[in-house]
Amino acid sequence: MAKRKAFTLMEVLVSIALLGIILPALYQSVDMLRDSNQHLFEYLEKAKKVSKATQTLYLDILSSDGNITIKKDEFTRLCMEQTKNSLYALPVAKVCWIVLKKDNTLVRIEGNAYDLPLGSEERVEINPIMKDVEVFDVYHQKDKILVLLQQQAKEPISFMVQGISKPEKKKKEKKKKKTKKPKKKNQIPPKDTNGTKTPVPPSLT
């Protein structure tokens, strides 16, 4: 019996048909794997940004002089008058963390001696930190500061900074006023009922 040296036309057609069925399934699985890797990469990038943001906020508070103002309405406005944690190589900076109404975006503002709301001449650096913020709250009690932060559909983040005490206000020492003693005036001796003057004591003459 002679050995076969090639495939028949029918075998080639069956192989092509099988490849036509298998290749789309393989391509779909590869595409799904690529999408999942992309989603994982984006999630890790977001998680990295959130951890970097919380680390920056932590260092801002930790490096401050304790002169911290907290204003609360819908969201908390946190300002540190002086902190050594500068992203722009400033020796000392004023840093504020606020939530803007647009997209509930948490931003960090860094500069020197500026006031909120910002004027047109204020020179500051504004960094958007995260969008869709649902909770941004700060509590300051004695030497402890508690921060609560949560994005929409995300797990809440909280941390505490200890050892941050408010600077003591210098009391102005009141100068003691010297009270002047009234000088003794020579007393006029009272008259007698008889009309004669009573003798004056030697100490008064």
Question: Has residue 184 been placed in a domain?
Answer: no
pLDDT in tens, 131-156: 999 999 999 988 899 999 999 988 89
Alpha helices in the chain (DSSP H): 9-62
* Contact between 138 and 36 (Cβ < 8 Å): no
Task: Give the structural domain span for 84.
Answer: 45-132
* Contact between 101 and 121 (Cβ < 8 Å): no
Question: Has residue 118 been placed in a domain?
Answer: yes
Question: Has residue 173 been placed in a domain?
Answer: no
pLDDT in tens, 32-46: 888 888 877 777 777
Question: Has residue 185 been placed in a domain?
Answer: no
- Tell me how far CA of residue 77 lies from CA of 66, 137, 152, 155, in angstroms: 16, 8, 19, 21
Question: Has residue 2 been placed in a domain?
Answer: no
pLDDT in tens, 96-130: 999 998 899 999 999 998 988 888 888 999 999 99
Count of domains observed in the chain: 1
Question: Has residue 6 been placed in a domain?
Answer: no
Question: Has residue 19 been placed in a domain?
Answer: no
Cβ neighbours, 10 Å, residue 83: 22
